[in-house]
Amino acid sequence: MAGKAAAYSPAGLEFARALLASKPDSPVRRMIKAKGLEGRIRRIASENLPQGIYFAKLTLGDWKSWNGKPFRLFQDGALVYGNMIEPPARGFPLEYRNIMVTSNDVSHFTLDIDVPFELKIGRGAFTTPQQLRYDEQYGVEQHGDVFYSRRGNTTTPTKMLITFPGFGPSTTRISYAVSYLKDLNDEDLNDTLMVCFQDRYLAAGSYMMVDNAGRALYERVRDAIEGLRSRFAIDRSQMLFFGASKGGAIAIQYAREYPEAALLLAVPQMNLPYYFTKPAFKDNLFRHNALRELEQPEVRLRQYFNEGRRIHYFYTNSDESSNHSLIELASDIPHLVKYRIDGQHSDVARAALPAMLGLIRRFLRGGADEQFTCEELRTFRHTGNVQVQVRVDPVASKVSGANWFIQGQAGRTRFLQLMTEHSYDFVKYTTAEQSLFPAYDPIVDLEHVRAIQPNGTIWTGSLPSRVNPGTRVPKQQLPNCALSLDASTVQEYVVLNGESFGRYRYRWHRQVDGADTLEMHFVPELGSGTSGPLGGDQREQAASTVEVQPIDGCSLADLFALRVLIATGMRRLHVVIHGKTLKADLEALATMDWDDVTVELHESKVVLAGAAQQ
């Protein structure tokens, strides 16, 4: 025990880090590798945890009958980790590594599913041979508690490309990746230092917001970025922050002190607690209080919009849990270019890779701008939406490997909708999934067709005429406001998911410090009454009260209710429905996927059980 205590002491940690900082081909590193000690030394070097905090590795046996179902690990009856069971890599056990616990006594832990399990607990982070090989392959370096690889011009760079990683599968043998962008070569990076950060915290990453002990990481990562920038005297305007999914949310966080820098984002999460209500995160990251308390990406990005920062943002309307109804309705923001891609969250980066590589290469080494003639425009109607088809000239028809877009202006914001290439190479069109929405898309302000090639060349052709929506669906002025907890004024909020959107006015009537129940009254009109006791055993609970008026129907009311609940940080939701006209549309709120929700019909006092209570 004394030897282990010495190994994990501050002196032992520094010694282990010094060994790992030596050159990979040095005699000491060769000896460490030959004796199979690298994993153990990396564990010692991982992080100096406070006393009473440990890393745990959970291995599940006989898991196949539980595939696709949730499990939870408890320490002395308190939940410490949970996830959805997925098959591991073939030939390997089902492991969950680097779960943070506060006891090193395995007898204190239980599972809520009936399978054999093994729990190992220690002071150092657990790893795998596959992770070690990955880190070596991509040159991942540890600098204190911060991990990154460097490539490109590492001696005299004039530019800086900073990337952040997304998530991998929960059962991968490589839990911590880097966004290496292997398509970029030495010629691309001739003038650029590329820094690829690794989110090496908790079981699968913490959005680089907290370390394994829950302590804020911002200053440590900021200092690493600024140290490299200042070392090479790189102008702040020559910096690009890039990330997709989780990496996009991290990029927003660490661009904070670089207003002159550019951002390239793909499907970043705007509100982490809301995103963490997904089954894969509900019993792990969602319960991490430190991630709730830190400023959310949406707040930071709205500030960047106000500052007029240079932002390229790729998204899909079918990703409401990431978008949080921000980017879809963003307009009249200077220097914002938004690219809408059809498909699901995981489809966007792959589908838009040519355009994203083209934009990155334009930052790295510039790119050509070419013109072509758009010879013909045709417009079609599809279920109230609009599709377009264009014919391009023979020169443009030979452009290969590009993403094609139809482009217009939403005020000072540039809007691009992805198009599809026809089997006839001179025809580009929008599919049903790429339709334009008359209610909020800038259809009459579409002006160009644009192709972005991976080499950085951009081709632009003017439309021969304006696109005519030709539909009875009116263009609406939809507000793009954040949810507010302001108790004094009437607010309006829009929820958008796919082709649907819902509009709601709301006003706070009572906010109780320390309340754990949100009482939400849906009314035909604000001010028509919010009386009505809580039902059942919730009568004694302290409650904050908000009055909500649906506008033009109750579409996506469940998403609106969940977003408000998450914003308050409360655990219980009690919905009171006023009036027969709202009853049919809102009774379904009782089936919301939330642990503690009830719905009361105000007139009859009938209380419907929520999904978790059925």
Tens digit of pLDDT for each residue in 388-412?
999 999 999 999 999 999 999 999 9
Pick 474 or 585 by higher pLDDT: 585
Q: Which residues contact 40 (CB under 8 A, 6 or more apart)?
A: 124
> Strand runs (DSSP E) across 61-145, as ranges?
70-75, 78-84, 94-101, 109-111, 117-122, 141-143
Q: Is 351 helix (H, G, I), strand (E, B) or coil?
A: helix
Q: Is 67 helix (H, G, I), strand (E, B) or coil?
A: coil
Measured over the CA atoms of residue 270, residue 271, residue 272 and residue 275, the dihedral's sign is negative
- Out of 27-36, 311-320, 513-522, pick the least confident: 27-36
Q: How many CB atoms lie within 10 A of CB 54?
A: 18
What number is the average pLDDT over the span 122-144? 95
Residue 40 has pLDDT above 80, yes or no: no
Residue tagged 């060994």 (tokens): 19
583: enclosing H helix or E strand: helix 580-586
Residue 539 has pLDDT above 60, yes or no: no
* pLDDT at residue 610 in the model: 64
* pLDDT at residue 363 in the model: 98
- Average pLDDT of the chain is 91
Q: How confident is the model at residue 6 (pLDDT cuts 50, 70, 90)?
A: low
- Percent of the chain predicted with pLDDT > 70: 91
* pLDDT at residue 538 in the model: 44
Q: What is the largest CA-CA distance in the chain?
A: 81
- In 3D, which of 102, 92, 39 has the Cα closest to residue 63? 92
Pick 26 or 418 by higher pLDDT: 418
Asked if 534 and 576 count as a contact pair (C-beta separation under 8 A), the reply is no
> Strand runs (DSSP E) across 168-260, as ranges?
192-198, 239-244
* pLDDT at residue 533 in the model: 42
Residue 494 has pLDDT above 70, yes or no: yes
